[in-house]
Amino acid sequence: MSDTLLVLTGIGIPAYSARGLTQTLQPIEAAGSQRRTVNGTLVDLSLSQFRKYRSTIRCSDMEAPALDGIWPGLVVTVDCVVELSCPSSATPAKTVVPGSQRLQGSFTFYRPRLVMQVIDHSIEKNEWGAVTGWTLELEEV
């Protein structure tokens, strides 16, 4: 049983390995392509198919997640902890984790479910403090 909202289908999260974790979502590098015209106006040249996320998950807890045998390139499904929001009149841009959608005023908040590829991960152990720290870096496929 996990102690977190985070779900890593294909990896797994043992108990006492993810309490108090932090997750970031940011656009992948290829998502942005802006240039200035000869008149100095900034224009967006990005392509919609590159509107994908990179995620970093960090935590320090008692145990490590199940990272044995997990290598860069592995595709996993991530039920994110991070919430995205959009106007209630709009459709969420990403798949919604079932049961995570909520309304607040004229906005819809939801946790995205993203199909991502492992980019890198690391684990560290503080022996005397009995703390295991870990980081997992992912990019949306």
The closest alpha carbon to 98, from 77, 118, 116, belongs to 77
What range defines the domain where residue 12 resides? 7-35+50-83+115-140
In this predicted structure, the answer to whether residue 69 has a pLDDT above a threshold of 60 is: yes
Cα–Cα distance measured from residue 95 to residue 75, given in angstroms and rounded to the nearest whole number: 17
pLDDT band at 3; cut points 50, 70, 90: confident
Whether residue 64 is predicted with pLDDT greater than 90 in this model: the reply is no
Structure tokens at 35: 């240039």
Specify the 3-state DSSP secondary structure of 138. strand
Closest CA to 132 of 66, 55, 56: 66
Q: What integer pLDDT is reported at residue 65 of this predicted model?
A: 84
136 lies in some domain: yes
Share of the chain above pLDDT 70, in %: 99
Q: Tell me, yes or no, whether 57 lies in a domain.
A: yes
Query: Is residue 40 included in any domain, yes or no?
Result: no
**Residue 64 vs residues 22, 31, 46, 59, 97: alpha-carbon distances, Å:** 15, 32, 38, 9, 24
Asked whether residue 72 is domain-assigned, the answer is yes
Asked if residue 1 has pLDDT above 80, the reply is no
Q: Summarize pLDDT for 126-139 with one digit per residue, the tens.
A: 999 999 999 999 99
- pTM for the full predicted model: 0.90
Q: Indicate the number of domains in the chain.
A: 1
Give Cα 28 to chain centroid, integer Å.
11
